[in-house]
Amino acid sequence: MQATGGSCLTLTLPKAWIKHWKLRSKDEVIVDASGPALIIKVANRLKREVTIDISLDNMPDKWLVREMIGAYIAGADKIALRSARIAPSQNQTIRQSVQLLFGFEILEETSQKIVARTILDDSMFPVSESTLRIFNITRGMFEDSLKAAQTGDRDLANDIKLRDYEVNKFVH
């Protein structure tokens, strides 16, 4: 390292690494200094998030699994599943399917929409987004709790219990 001012040091990166990642002067890198090791990664400046929307209306559960796996294989970063009302059997199938998709977690959930996203790239899913995810899921739980209480909808109430498990995964 070399001192470049009163409060900065410059770190030189290996030329072979720079060439391998096709970096140029002033390109961004991500530096993770949260642990005992300093981790330097190339900022993914060209990657666009790939979102695949799946309509659940009149879709058999078997096809739902195929659609989700197809979206995963196609390189989706985010899978949004929508319906006028997600049936309990569809909700259960979605949860089971998300468990099959390595690195995917449910981000957002209401009675009309479930969004699953890959969380493998921490630069795409920072702590602030995790907090937002908890907020969005609990907000949907609250709104649907009011609906379930007003209408006496037991299926919706059971669905809310399932969402509580998603929120608890963040806390534990």
Q: Which residue has the tokens 């309509």?
A: 55
- Could you give phi then psi for residue 51, rounded to 5 degrees? -110, 130
User: Does residue 163 carry a pLDDT above 90?
Assistant: no
Give the confidence band of 172 by pLDDT, cuts at 50, 70, 90: very low
Neighbour-count burial for 59-85, b at 16+ CB within 10 Å, e otherwise: bebeebeebbeebbeeebbbbbbebee
Q: How much is the pLDDT for 124?
A: 54
- Could you give phi then psi for residue 2, rounded to 5 degrees? -135, 135
What kind and span of H or E run contains 84?
none
Q: Tell me the per-residue pLDDT of 71-83, one tens digit each, with 9 for 90 and over.
A: 988 888 899 999 9
Strands 113-118 and 104-109: antiparallel
Neighbours of 142 (CB within 10 A): 10
Q: How much is the pLDDT for 116?
A: 95
Question: Which of helix, strand or coil describes residue 165?
Answer: helix
Is the Cβ–Cβ distance between 61 and 94 less than 8 Å?
Answer: no
Lowest mean pLDDT among 23-32, 115-124, 135-144: 115-124
| Strand blocks (E) in 56-103 | 78-82
Question: What is the distance between the alpha carbons of residues 105 and 97, in angstroms, rounded to a whole number?
Answer: 10
Give the confidence band of 44 by pLDDT, cuts at 50, 70, 90: low
Q: How much is the pLDDT for 129?
A: 66
Give the confidence band of 57 by pLDDT, cuts at 50, 70, 90: very high
Neighbour-count burial for 13-33, b at 16+ CB within 10 Å, e otherwise: eeeeebeeeeeeeeeeeeeee
Neighbours of 40 (CB within 10 A): 12
Q: Higher pLDDT residue, 33 or 24?
A: 24
Q: Tell me the per-residue pLDDT of 130-152, one tens digit each, with 9 for 90 and over.
A: 667 778 888 899 999 999 999 99
